[in-house]
Amino acid sequence: MKPRIAILAALGAFIVGLSVATFAELKLFLPPILRGAVVTLQISFWSWLLFVSLSCIAGLGRWQRNLLVRWTATVYIEVFRGTSLLVILFWLFFVLPEFGIIMSPFVAGVLGVGLNFGAYGAEVVRGALTAVPKGQREAAIALNIKPRNFVVRILFPQAIAIMVPGMVNLTIEMIKATALVSAITLVDITYASVQQNQLYFRTLEIFTIALLLYYCFAQFVRFGGAALEEYFTRHLAKRR
């Protein structure tokens, strides 16, 4: 464990050195970057809600027996997984107005990120649903449990425990992906850093701060996810 402390100390010294070296300008360029961080967090929050609900819907849809529902889900997943997020964002922001649908950059960003990651999440959900033993369904039929109750009470509680690690990874990926919304004129961390870099030419400091901010968000999600996983698997841990 000793080297870890040494590395952390070195990292800390580096950051302190950086902030001392740029103390006068730090208070010039830090506030805009922090304002960008707020935008990043807002977009992350809303697109996370969209992403989780879409992945549950599409994951369940792909698992249905109704052909129309299954095909719709499959097409959605393949289209949004196959295209690049940046292309989707551009399409939402620059092409949809041609068809008469005009969105604010914020809405377009949330929609783009949410739709894209919903498609990835759907696969995680589907994988978790298939991982629940088949006997559970048969038992539910034998006990005359309504299909809807089966999904809500039996299938999902078991599937959630399986899908948490995958969803946590995707959430981290999603927070990283929100950097792309700077392409559609939203001033998030990335865009703010580029702007401040053009103003003050403190490349090393500005982009180190930006990277560290994203790193902190990711670590936060990772620890939160570990706690969540523990919560959802608590009944499994007891049995062991």
CB–CB of 149/119 below 8 Å? no
Confirm or reject binding of residue 103 to another protein (CB under 8 A). Answer: no
Residues 72-101 touching another protein, rule: CB under 8 A, are 78-79, 81-88, 90-91, 94-95, 98-99
The whole-angstrom separation of Cα 182 and Cα 179 is 6
To the nearest whole angstrom, how small is the minimum distance from the Cβ of residue 48 to another protein? 16
Residues 140-179 touching another protein, rule: CB under 8 A, are 172, 176-179
For 18-29, the DSSP string reads HHHHTHHHHHHH
Confirm or reject binding of residue 203 to another protein (CB under 8 A). Answer: yes
Confirm or reject binding of residue 107 to another protein (CB under 8 A). Answer: no
To the nearest whole angstrom, how small is the minimum distance from the Cβ of residue 131 to another protein? 18
The Cβ-side half-sphere exposure at 143, using a 13 Å CA radius, reads 12
C-alpha distances in Å from residue 93, one per residue of 47, 97, 134: 16, 7, 44
Confirm or reject binding of residue 204 to another protein (CB under 8 A). Answer: yes
CB–CB of 19/26 below 8 Å? yes
Of 53 and 203, nearer to another protein (C-beta) is: 203
To the nearest whole angstrom, how small is the minimum distance from the Cβ of residue 78 to another protein? 7
For 56-77, the DSSP string reads HHHHHHHH-S-HHHHHHHHHHH
Of 85 and 155, nearer to another protein (C-beta) is: 85
The Cβ-side half-sphere exposure at 216, using a 13 Å CA radius, reads 10
Nearest to 61 by CA among 166, 151, 139: 151
Of 107 and 141, nearer to another protein (C-beta) is: 107
Which three-class secondary structure state does DSSP give residue 185?
Answer: coil
Of 114 and 156, nearer to another protein (C-beta) is: 114
Selected range binding another protein among 16-24, 43-51, 196-204, 226-234, rule: CB under 8 A:
196-204
Site residues (vs another protein, CB under 8 A): 3-4, 7, 78-79, 81-88, 90-91, 94-95, 98-99, 172, 176-180, 182-183, 189-190, 193-194, 197, 203-204, 207, 210-211, 214-215, 218-219, 222
